[in-house]
Amino acid sequence: MNKYSSIICGDNVSVLKGFPDNFIDLVVTSPPYDNLRSYKGYVFDFENVAKELFRIIKTGGIVVWVVGDATTKGSETGTSFKQALYFMSLGLNLHDTMIYEKSGMAFPDSNRYHNVFEYMFIFSKGKPSTTNIIKDRPNKWVGKSGGNHRGGLCERGEYGARFNIWRYPNGRDNTSKDRMAFEHPAPFPESLARDHIISWSNENDLVLDPFCGSGTTLKMAKLLKRDFIGIDCSEEYCRLSRRRVDEAENIRPVRKQGQSVAHPDNEQLSLLP
């Protein structure tokens, strides 16, 4: 199988079994979970998906797994934690437990606090081979002399490394400007996919989304000059993904200073039509 950009309709476990070992540089995905997402009655085979992902990612590769939990009979399901522990049992390292904080929410029961986040588990197969840590947090220490933080020198640049809680506006016109993206029940923010692709891969690397849905990961991979493979069980959503990737041809990357995304050298990336 050659390295190329493609969207494949089919059962993801069956498709993944056709991939060679040590093939993928980065996985960025958000699977349907619990009863939080309506996905045409599809129930995915989590354990076999996880096994195949472990097999096909390269040593040093990363799996970004964005997941949340439903609340049933007065208790959160804990699906997210169970899945994280299973990935670790296969031999992946839990490189980081990150939070995707949403600007919007669904109203909970009256006896619960509002839930505005999902987990972003970052699994690595050994030591990560690529870590382009995003630096877009204004550094309050810039231009100041002296000062240590817990025994280490403070960051001296204009921008410091961001924290591992990432906040994105969600909902229509925020998750994506593509109206067509909302033909899928649960698109995640383009900026979330973009930031992870920048963080854990380089140009010409191969990015996989085995639950590609509306094609957000694939679109951002294309814009960032990565190769990509998407898999989805729905031909309707595969067609949607292809449309979004095709329309990405009309979007150009523009690098600016001080915008929302930074490379390690503080060169910022925005995406404009």
User: In this prediction, what percent of the chain has a pLDDT beyond 70?
Assistant: 73
- Contact between 32 and 211 under an 8 Å Cβ cutoff? The reply is yes
Q: Which domain holds residue 239?
A: 6-248
The phi and psi torsions of 66 (rounded to 5 degrees) equal: -95, 120
79 or 1, which is more confident?
79
Of 5-19, 158-172, 224-238, 251-265, which range is least confident? 251-265
Strand 227-232 to strand 206-209: parallel, antiparallel, or no bridges (unpaired)? parallel
Residue 72 placed within a domain: yes
Quote the tokens at residue 199.
């963080």
Residue 258 placed within a domain: no
CA–CA separation, 232 and 216 (whole Å): 13
Residue 214 placed within a domain: yes
Q: What is the pLDDT of residue 5?
A: 86
Q: What is the pLDDT of residue 219?
A: 92
CATH number where 35 lies:
3.40.50.150
Closest Cα to residue 221, out of 209, 210, 211?
209
pLDDT digits (tens, 9 = 90+) for 50-109: 999 999 999 999 999 999 998 888 899 999 999 999 999 999 999 999 999 987 766 666
Residue 76 placed within a domain: yes
Counted domains in the chain: 1
Residue 268 placed within a domain: no
Q: What is the pLDDT of residue 113?
A: 85
The answer, yes or no, to whether residue 249 has pLDDT greater than 80, is no
CA–CA separation, 161 and 113 (whole Å): 30
Residue 180 placed within a domain: yes
pLDDT tier, 264 (very low <50, low <70, confident <90, very high otherwise): very low
Q: What is the pLDDT of residue 102?
A: 86
Q: What is the pLDDT of residue 112?
A: 81
Residue 262 placed within a domain: no
pLDDT digits (tens, 9 = 90+) for 121-177: 999 999 999 999 999 988 877 666 555 554 444 566 788 899 999 998 876 555 555
Residue 269 placed within a domain: no
Of 197-201, 243-247, 252-256, which range is least confident? 252-256
42 or 76, which is more confident?
76
